[in-house]
Amino acid sequence: MRPAAGWRCRGLSRRTDERAGEPEGTARSHGRAGVEGTPQRPPRPAVGGVEPLPRQRGGPCAQGGRGGTPQRAREHRRGVEGTGVSAGHPDRSQAWALARAALDGLPGGGLNIAYEAVDRHVVHGDGDVVALRCLAADGAVQEHTYRDLREHTNRFAAVLDGLGVKPGGAVFTLLGRGWETHVSALGTLKHASVFCPLFAAFGPEPVRQRMLMGRARVLVTTRELYRRRIAGLRDQLPELAEVLLVDADPTTVEPGTRSWHDLMATADADYTIPWTDPESVALLHFTSGTTGRPKGALHVHDAVVAHHATAGHALGLRRGDVFWCTADPGWVTGTSYGIIAPLTHGATVVVDAGDFDARRWYGVLADQRVSVWYTAPTALRMLMRSGAELAGRYDLSALRHVASVGEPLNAEAVLWAQETFRRPVLDNWWQTETGAIMVSNAPGDEVRPGSMGRPEPGVEVALLERGTDGRPVLSDGQVVEVSDPRQVGELALRPGWPSMFRGYLDDEERYRRCFIGGWYCSGDLARRDVDGYYWFVGRGDDVIKSAGHLIGPFEVESALMEHPAVVEAGVIGKPDPVAGELVKAFVTLRPGFDADEQLRRELVAFGRRRLGSVAPREIVFDQHLPHTRSGKVMRRLLKARELGLPEGDVSTLERQ
């Protein structure tokens, strides 16, 4: 099913996608075979034919699934990397063909995310397996099986039909973690409409801007959020036809809204998923830029192939696991790996509505017997503050893997987790635009603290040399790849993986600027060691150029956080007439340390011993560093405030 006419993005078709990855001036041939000279997606195995990997949830790349072992996964990875090229090149198509074969496809043809995450488990006799274990803020627990989830997502799809929503229409949620969020998301996908989650802590203007850009047709939210975020600006959202409240009060009706539960109660529980083109738009995720306008990244149903494969390989997820992803559903991680990926593996997903609290989190891990835990570096650092002794009070013996994403994970946190949990944190890298994990420390691989790992099977990665304009260098129409392990380059991916975004909403030119010389350019800078491990240096616009050196802020921040007084740091480049820029650090201290001149001098000296000439020249104390609502230190905001520049898009800023 193709996108509705309202989706004005010419980067949606695979042919346009491939074209965007070509160097300018490349000859193109038009036709069913796609663009000449670009890698083609392998044909999908016929539905109902012989499965090459029967019921192997996670495919050949997964670790520990039925028929899979950590040794087999390591052999698979070595088989790709042992060709002498990045993970991929001609083996990329084979890797994704195997991953695609691990899924069922719709009975009548096509591919739908919700069917792979929900219905196929019921079809295969696993309907009574617990799909969601929902923990209320007060500690109450409710369990829902895959059969329950199928019925309720059917009902929500039928609700959309009844409201006159056409496939391709935009359904937004403004909700926290909970049962209704999962049902609304998967029911929307089942209906072949476009699901767009919003972060519930957004203020009214960021909500209005995103809903207006995304042409929201339906919004699912709560009474409080509707009153505080939507009611006052409803007239500015001309395409918003329906607002469904998950906690509607029949005694106090909100004008212009309906009860989510009342509609669900009368909806038909039998629903046939329409034929769904794998290239039809499924997900819209907004991500902030440095300007005032957020970017709307569009993903298609074929993304589920990458969700499933990477959850198996990078997270070690398998059938029977109890999985907990702490990301908010308003962010891409909370959708890709909080909702979709674990359900495709038939896992039991823990959904915790409570806020962060160290004791609560350790209690969830222990009481729910979580086996795979996917969280953020910020959360791990917050747990570090509470000390290893607190963790020791809880039985974490069920925990098999801990993984992190969202920002670089400093080596100190990896080592702390190894000592505290008796297992390392498996850091990985990806972006909203990539849609799924691209580089990872996979279970069973050697973990090098501070490294984001190596490319996922089927993903071809390179480091590209950058010019003085901050763009990759082109020589005779070809990019220049970095091979020296001491040299920094821009992290780039060869287009063609299933979860690659297909466009920015209404901004084709911005989308095309992401590609050059046949590569997707991430904007992140990294190094690659002799064994193929990638080490994050910083965002291209964060990197500091001082006296001829390229200095990654993450490297400086990680070094400062090795000092016992420092719990967090943010590093920027400050203009200097001699060096170009000098390194300035803002540090947050642990409780019990005084922010005085003696400690400041001690930190300056500590930095010089650890970092030499790239150490910070200036250090200031700041107990309230600006963070995004997902926990990242906002370096660009630190720099803007330091230099008196416009702050740009601050919709994701965590309010103190």
Could you tell me if 565 and 603 are in contact, meaning their C-beta atoms sit under 8 angstroms apart?
Answer: yes
Please report which confidence band the pLDDT of residue 608 belongs to, taking 50, 70 and 90 as the band edges: confident
Question: For position 382, what pLDDT does the model report?
Answer: 86
Q: Which residue has the higher pLDDT, 339 or 384?
A: 339
Please report which confidence band the pLDDT of residue 71 belongs to, taking 50, 70 and 90 as the band edges: very low
Please report which confidence band the pLDDT of residue 99 belongs to, taking 50, 70 and 90 as the band edges: very high
Please report which confidence band the pLDDT of residue 651 belongs to, taking 50, 70 and 90 as the band edges: low
Highest mean pLDDT among 125-134, 459-468, 551-560: 125-134
Question: For position 630, what pLDDT does the model report?
Answer: 64
- In which residue are the tokens 């829902």 written? 144
pLDDT at 612 over 50: yes
What's the whole-number mean pLDDT along residues 412-441? Answer: 94
Could you tell me if 156 and 187 are in contact, meaning their C-beta atoms sit under 8 angstroms apart?
Answer: yes
pLDDT at 72 over 70: no
Structure tokens at 428: 């990985």
Question: CA 506 to CA 262: how far, in whole Å?
Answer: 36
Q: Which residue has the higher pLDDT, 479 or 43?
A: 479
Please report which confidence band the pLDDT of residue 513 belongs to, taking 50, 70 and 90 as the band edges: very high
Question: For position 645, what pLDDT does the model report?
Answer: 77
Question: For position 261, what pLDDT does the model report?
Answer: 97
Question: CA 594 to CA 313: how far, in whole Å?
Answer: 45
CATH homologous superfamily of 542-643 equals ANL, C-terminal domain (3.30.300.30)
Q: Which residue has the higher pLDDT, 71 or 511?
A: 511
Tell me the pLDDT tens digit for each residue of 261-318: 999 999 999 999 999 999 999 999 998 754 457 899 999 999 999 999 999 999 999 9
Highest mean pLDDT among 24-33, 367-376, 553-562: 367-376
Strand partners, 527: 535
What's the whole-number mean pLDDT along residues 596-625? Answer: 89
What's the whole-number mean pLDDT along residues 516-538? Answer: 93
Which residues have C-beta within 8 Å of that of residue 69, sequence separation ≥ 6?
63
Question: For position 45, what pLDDT does the model report?
Answer: 29
Please report which confidence band the pLDDT of residue 469 belongs to, taking 50, 70 and 90 as the band edges: confident
Question: For position 548, what pLDDT does the model report?
Answer: 54
Please report which confidence band the pLDDT of residue 168 belongs to, taking 50, 70 and 90 as the band edges: very high
Question: For position 399, what pLDDT does the model report?
Answer: 97
Q: Which residue has the higher pLDDT, 582 or 82?
A: 582
Question: For position 77, what pLDDT does the model report?
Answer: 33
Least confident of 144-158, 172-186, 293-307, 541-555: 541-555
Task: List phi, psi (to 5°) of 641.
Answer: -70, -35
Q: Which residue has the higher pLDDT, 28 or 358?
A: 358
User: What are the start-end ranges of the E strands in 396-542?
Assistant: 401-404, 425-429, 439-440, 454-455, 461-464, 474-475, 478-479, 489-493, 503-504, 515-516, 519-528, 534-539
Q: What is the rounded average pLDDT for all residues in the chain?
A: 83
Q: Which residue has the higher pLDDT, 132 or 550?
A: 132
Tell me the pLDDT tens digit for each residue of 222-252: 999 999 999 999 999 999 999 999 999 988 8
What's the whole-number mean pLDDT along residues 564-589? Answer: 87
Question: For position 83, what pLDDT does the model report?
Answer: 23
Question: For position 555, what pLDDT does the model report?
Answer: 75
Question: For position 575, what pLDDT does the model report?
Answer: 85
Could you tell me if 456 and 438 are in contact, meaning their C-beta atoms sit under 8 angstroms apart?
Answer: yes
pTM of the model: 0.77
Question: CA 372 to CA 163: how far, in whole Å?
Answer: 39
pLDDT at 86 over 90: no
Question: For position 79, what pLDDT does the model report?
Answer: 32
Highest mean pLDDT among 85-89, 248-252, 306-310, 409-413: 306-310
Question: CA 563 to CA 599: how far, in whole Å?
Answer: 11
- H helical segments located in 133-259: 146-162, 179-190, 204-213, 223-225
pLDDT at 529 over 50: yes
Question: CA 16 to CA 362: how far, in whole Å?
Answer: 47
pLDDT at 1 over 90: no
Domain boundaries, the chain: 542-643
- What b/e string do you get for 395-417 counting C-beta neighbours within 10 Å, with b at 16 or more? ebeebbbbbbbbbbbbbbbbebb
User: What are the start-end ranges of the E strands in 385-444?
Assistant: 401-404, 425-429, 439-440
Question: For position 460, what pLDDT does the model report?
Answer: 96
What's the whole-number mean pLDDT along residues 557-561? Answer: 88
Structure tokens at 454: 């190596």
Please report which confidence band the pLDDT of residue 486 belongs to, taking 50, 70 and 90 as the band edges: confident
Question: For position 219, what pLDDT does the model report?
Answer: 98
What's the whole-number mean pLDDT along residues 191-198? Answer: 98
pLDDT at 655 over 60: no
Structure tokens at 472: 């990759």
pLDDT at 56 over 80: no
What's the whole-number mean pLDDT along residues 467-473? Answer: 85
